[in-house]
Structure 1
């Protein structure tokens, strides 16, 4: 276990927790102290307004945020005042503070100030289970240090973490796996709705941070060391989620042992040590065997798009074995970048800018790597999997062999859906996407006659938007607009819009469609064959519900 990480010492952690609570070291309090301008600047990774706002403040929360997040220093007396139970000595013993590396003064000078060895930030969120207020430890950011990130850097809570938390369903389950847990934020979220949470990572440093975060927030996690699914061989789970190290990074063979940030050796929190996007391919090939009946997987990922190929060429190939195994899958591409954009994005993510000497060589390596595989673009998005069945029906969940459902009944192939969707509506996405994934399976078993006999209901957040030439009666364009979920905008005509608008559960879909066709003098048989696939899509997107 690394020695330069916070140590899990229960008595000292309890004292730290007491002091953080007493100081009201929360997101709400720190944002109040910072003010809107400084908060907005921090989101742009500009710490200067925040440092100015907190300079000279005697408020304990102000000193703690300056010291533990912004990279400022503090005297021992100031630390003792802000952390009276733990004290400066306790903070040093715990491994969160150390002596600042400054030029020593002359004889009789004051003791050197202390600096943070970690980032300890307040965290607030709200998921489907309610409000959250925690503290999260990670390695200091580039914002605090002014230097590029180290290869073994452990991230705090960033945009990808928040996205994964937003799209993960929060239903009560037995066993959960956080694959590649980093500092453990996703595992902490899962502890609120799972009986047992397993969190794995290849990085000892990440596991040490996760252990500290769990102890600080009084949460129990089953932490395991190992690569990908190796630490859970032979086990199955009701929910698996992961933000794996999927960043496509040019490889050096062998990777130098003395690599530094900015070399093509990469950063362990994001680089999986494989050429191209093959790590995600390996993971998706092995993951379905670890899903219990009814079990789901939620992943973030990106994939190469070969020149002249469809954007979903790679995800479809990766998920074909899962589909053959009866697992349903849904891939949602959220954005694309060209190779140059991608290289620039991830170079800057590691703290390398176009003003750094390493910039030219690093970006050139990326572009050459993509060109070697004729990669035209890189897609980003969500990968959702579900093994149909009733959760908890497999014998010996947790110790059963890694296999599919125990039933000997033949299972139809799974459903594989891919779509490019860039919009975003209001609210959390976890249950919304989980319901859509379930609907994929239900619709596969629902023929057109059964669908026509059902009584769908238009979702309350769906409205109709019409575009007209000023003064005209007939619209040039009709759109069905979703307020929640992914905020979809679906082009429609009078028949689809009229059908959806009348779906209130009173009449069957067949009766509604028949009435609309009669009112518009349209051929009912022809319209049924055209409208039913569109209604199926609306059911998956939760714009219409059964």
Structure 2
């Protein structure tokens, strides 16, 4: 299985391709509430331990579209091409880098497309987030790519809950990763700008935004460099949180390990942020 350097092709991000994919997800009721109900408490609890067996037991022999999407994405199982072809454009998803082929009949997910939802002052919201598959599923140890893109985590949901939800003209998602914070910001900011130093993270963010019908300003670069001449009403960031990275750069995870010591990274974000607040 080869590692792709970029998440999705630009062609796949066109509205017609994205709409076909999201229509299939909706048609299969691949949303937060329906998937949680399908997995049950045991299946959900198993996934918190990176164990798929309880969820697979819950799905049993079911071969409906929702069951196969759950197997394909959260459970990281190989699913027969013939079943997926009944409701997905499998060749297009393989070409885009979302899916991968194993032999003539097996299909696996190169990207984890997972339902995500929340409730805020504007009401309920439901959509999807694209990220790299969770490593270590069923205790299978594989090398994590340095440009690995984390999906929704307790840290990201905590930040979303802590962000002041006042209506603002402009917001900056600094180090956006897969774009979780931008989904929240788009609910109460007129314009949202995303930045990240990791090109793969920006690819995932673009896919996340496209899946949810959002056209936001995505820029590549470190910290405030991509917005050097811009100011914002609100800045949010979930920066790398391990401040003593491994000596070998090849073992450093971009999303997790920064090149600062002690509180240097947070100090830099706060001090530089002052000049970028409107």
Q: TM-score if structure 2 supplies the norm length?
A: 0.91
Q: Secondary structure at 1:90's aligned position in 2?
A: helix
The residue that corresponds to 1:272 in the other structure is 258
Distance 1:92 1:55 in 2: 27
The residue that corresponds to 1:289 in the other structure is 275
Distance 1:138 1:7 in 2: 15
1:25 to 26, 30, 33: 30
Distance 1:250 1:244 in 2: 14
The residue that corresponds to 2:155 in the other structure is 160
Q: What do the CA deviations read for 1:489-508 (whole angstroms, capped 9, x no partner)? A: xxxxxxxxxxxxxxxxxxxx
The residue that corresponds to 1:389 in the other structure is none
2:95 to 93, 96, 108: 93
Q: What do the CA deviations read for 1:445-477 (whole angstroms, capped 9, x no partner)? A: xxxxxxxxxxxxxxxxxxxxxxxxxxxxxxxxx
The residue that corresponds to 1:248 in the other structure is 243
Q: What do the CA deviations read for 1:102-139 (whole angstroms, capped 9, x no partner)? A: xx6xxxxxx24011111011111112221110111100
Q: How does 1:434-449 map to 2 (within 5 A)?
A: none
* Deviation of 1:51 (Å): 2.0
Task: Give the RMSD, CA atoms, in angstroms.
Answer: 1.7
Q: Secondary structure at 2:230's aligned position in 1?
A: coil
Q: How does 1:161-180 map to 2 (within 5 A)?
A: 161-180=156-175
Structure 2 residue 130 is matched with structure 1 residue 130: no
The residue that corresponds to 2:225 in the other structure is 230
Higher RCO structure (Cα 8 Å, ≥6 apart): 2
Structure 2 residue 197 is matched with structure 1 residue 202: yes
Q: What do the CA deviations read for 1:492-545 (whole angstroms, capped 9, x no partner)? A: xxxxxxxxxxxxxxxxxxxxxxxxxxxxxxxxxxxxxxxxxxxxxxxxxxxxxx
> Runs of at least 4 residues of structure 1 off by over 3 A?
none
Rg larger for = 1
2:46 to 41, 48, 53: 41
The residue that corresponds to 2:111 in the other structure is 118
Q: Secondary structure at 2:61's aligned position in 1?
A: coil
2:72/2:79 contact within 8 Å kept: yes
Q: What do the CA deviations read for 1:36-75 (whole angstroms, capped 9, x no partner)? A: 1111222233222112222421221111011112110111
* Deviation of 1:219 (Å): 0.6
Structure 2 residue 142 is matched with structure 1 residue 140: no
Q: Which runs of 5+ in 1 are unaligned?
A: 105-110, 293-546
Q: How does 1:65-464 map to 2 (within 5 A)?
A: 65-83=70-88, 87-100=89-102, 111-144=104-137, 146=140, 147-252=142-247, 255-256=248-249, 259=250, 263=251, 266-292=252-278
Q: Which runs of 5+ in 2 are unaligned?
A: none
Q: Secondary structure at 1:205's aligned position in 2?
A: helix
C-alpha distance 38-245 of structure 1, shift in aligned 2 (>3 A): same
